[in-house]
Amino acid sequence: MLIRKPGDLRPSEITPRNVYLRRRDFMKAASALAVAGGIAIPEVHAQGRGPKLAVARNSPFSTIEEPTPYKDVTTYNNFYEFGTDKADPAKHAHRLKTRPWTVAVEGEVKRPKVYDVDELLKLAALEERIYRLRCVEGWSMVIPWIGFPLAEIIRQVEPTSRAKFVEFTTLYDRSRMPFTFMPVLDWPYVEGLRMDEALHPLAILCFGLYGEVLPNQNGAPVRIVVPWKYGFKSAKSIVKIRFTERQPRTSWEKAAPQEYGFYSNVNPEVDHPRWSQARERRIGEFLKRPTLLFNGYADQVAGLYGGMDLRRYF
């Protein structure tokens, strides 16, 4: 998709047109429910900074580019469970309670396991590192994520020979995620990667940013970050990781298959049906810049797609 600054964006240009046009009806229904006492829409209030995380070392994949300001990273987000406008998640995500929290790892694995998130954090303490990565969600940012390769967990559960894909499922809880009563997407939110993508050291299990624990609006307490793909591939607030033989049917594929393919790699040569993807605008900058193949990580990940028609498998 074309990366634009906030002032350039119209909601109808980011959300699939059919979803955007239905959104007005959903908001009317939301207002009616709120008046009737069916749902409590939380008040807007400022979000504080999170607890600090100890970071062992910098990742060799980190860019030397200047990071995007913390305020922009944490107040301009896509997290439709808390609203479809970019400012909504920071306003409403305080309702998300991140303890207790577990992540079930299941499917085609020899050693299925349910991890407590604090157990994952203990594992992270051994591998924890900063990844200052370029990320794209409908705009471009450079974010110093904190986490470790997803491959560490994959190796622990020992996938079987039938495991060809990894599916990620986000929490679905109407009491904590007030906008999930609106059928903008088919809840719960589901994303997926091919096994070799998930094993790549740039696919990370993320617990923090800017040296602090993840803010709720950024996917607390644990999310995936896949920096060579568009941001919607990086599932937030994960409760299940499932290994499958068949390619998962992801949320945006179901919502708009003509616009959002399974791979969703950043590719300036493949236009979105409604706009060009050849240039992007980084948050905080006025001028556009050329969009880089695989978001600038071609040297690291292009080998995953050797022989594939990237216009067909978009």
Q: What is the pLDDT of residues 16-32, one digit of tens each?
A: 555 544 444 434 433 33
pTM over 0.95: no
CB-CB neighbours of 197 under 10 Å: 22
Predicted pLDDT at 123: 80
Token duo for residue 190:
């589901």
Predicted pLDDT at 176: 94
Of 43-52, 132-141, 155-164, the poorest mean pLDDT is in 43-52
Under 8 Å between Cβ of 151 and 199: yes
Residues 245-278 pLDDT 10s = 999 999 999 999 999 999 999 999 999 888 899 9
Distance of alpha carbon 33 from its chain centroid, rounded?
A: 29
Predicted pLDDT at 36: 30
d(CA 244, CA 192): 10
CATH topology of domain 6-305: Sulfite Oxidase; Chain A, domain 2 (3.90.420)
